Amino acid sequence: MSGYVSVVIYWDHMAGSPLRPEAMAAMAAAVSAAGNAASPHAAGRTARRALDACRDTLARLCGAASLRVVLTSGRHESNSLAVLGTVRSAQAREGRNRVLLSAVDHPTVRDCATTLAAEGVRVEWIEAEASGRVDPGKVSRQLGADVALVTLALASDATGILQPVAEVAAAAAVHGVPLHCDVAPVAGRQPLDLIGLGVASATVAAPMIGGPRGAGALLRRSDLELEPLWWGGSQEEGVRPGTQATLLARGLAAAATSAREQLPRGAAIDELRNALQQQLLAIEGAGVVGADAPRLTGTLAVGFAGLPTARLVARLSAAGLMVGSGAASVIRISLGWDANASEVTQGVALVRSVVAELRLSAACAS
């Protein structure tokens, strides 16, 4: 295989999905609408209703009827607000000066460690076992009355392996410690019950469910104290000051509604994932990470012996197949809501061809 081809298959939905038609239509219908949600007139009230509708829709999607929904600019802001805001508040109110951050979390969570350490907070890490999952028993032994927050993503960002969030949240609750859970890759991909999981806060990102870039939310318990990242306004109950992006909220609400309606397709998407996995494992030197672990719907982390991830991702991209960079030496595949058998067949053929090409190139160079 050489040069570029016209086939384009997108298998990187954990990094963000294409905008859903419903979201595009909802925004197009209101793109010229005026009205600041903070204004008391009719246009302002219309904008507020759009924001409230978005909050209600997200709560239904996530099984979070009793949680407050703070609209944000996306995953980065939501995770930063949850981690920094919770820890700073607990430190000031109760003197809690330790935080447990999960190594399987998204970088937007892990990178808070530098800021927290600079503020005098003791950062400890929750490591995954060989299975790719954290051990709730080990986390329980790390907990104590001085811990301000525990973080644990519902699904590993690199592999899609699902984590025992409910068990860890229950262990944390014994010490009165809140748990923040990034559910951005999970929302809209499989059913969620944030209340049942026992989390204190959770992050949702619009692009993961086919919504507009620049929109997201932090869902939180009403008793969770948060210190804002910045000040100067009373929007979002004073937790997230700044003029609300009503147009993006309309798109997010439409995407969330569409995603919720398509949740029953999850079983079919997993069947496609399993068929894809079986065919990829037929390629010499292929190995799947977490094949026996519970995984996020439609996700797969696979590596090919001797082939660096960066080179494989780049060459697959040139061939027309878009995949994500997962953990060390693996690529991360995440199918979309519109995946089909024909797409799987084409994608496997591209992977097989690129792997053979790269191995031939390596053999000639040695």
Domain with CATH 3.40.640.10 in the chain: 33-261
pLDDT higher than 70, residue 7:
no
Q: Where are the alpha helices (DSSP H) in the chain?
A: 21-30, 42-62, 75-94, 107-110, 112-118, 136-142, 165-174, 194-197, 246-261, 266-281, 309-319, 341-365
Residue 22: which pLDDT band, with cuts at 50, 70 and 90?
A: very high
Q: Specify whether domain 33-261 bears CATH 1.10.1040.10.
A: no
Lowest mean pLDDT among 49-53, 102-106, 325-329: 325-329
The closest of 69, 294, 327 to 166, measured between CA atoms, is 294
Enumerate the CATH 3.90.1150.10 domain ranges in the chain, comma separated: 9-19+263-365
Q: Is the pLDDT of residue 5 over 70?
A: no
Q: Strand, coil or helix: what is 340? A: coil
3-state secondary structure of 211: coil
Q: Which helix or strand (DSSP H or E) is residue 151 part of?
A: strand 147-151
Q: Could you report the per-residue pLDDT of 307-362, keeping only the tens digit for each?
A: 999 999 999 999 999 999 977 789 999 999 999 999 999 999 999 999 999 998 87
Amino acid found at 16: G
Q: Is the pLDDT of residue 123 over 70?
A: yes
Among residues of the chain, what percentage have pLDDT more than 70?
98
pLDDT tens-digit series, residues 220-264: 999 999 999 888 888 888 899 888 999 999 999 999 999 999 999
Instruction: At 304, list the tokens.
Output: 């090919």
Does CATH number 3.90.1150.10 belong to domain 9-19+263-365? yes
